[in-house]
Homo-oligomer: A and B are copies of this chain.
């Protein structure tokens, strides 16, 4: 399943800057950064639950926002990308 993870972490203090790094770190372990606070992840159900637990543990629910969107269907059919795009789809055959 493809997921879009987006987050806004309040970085007004050091603790927030630390939370931002830790949230990004968790996201990196499950997928690719496509924008500053947007990751695309391809995970199974178990990984999804695990990732959710890890991310929820890192945010401060009082002042941060975390949204996870599940994409249904083939990834390329539900995404339009314009401008800078460094995404690499490792699920597609790599032509060398």
Contacts and interface: CB of A to CB of B under 8 A. Distances in A.
Contacts of A65: 34-35, 81-85
A4 B4 contact: yes
A6 interface: yes
A30 interface: no
Range of interface residues on chain A? 35 or more
Given A35-B7, A35-B37, A82 B69 contact: no
B69 A52 contact: no
Given A35-B8, A37-B35, A37-B37, A82 B70 contact: no
Interface of A: 4, 6-8, 34-38, 52, 55-56, 59-73, 77-85
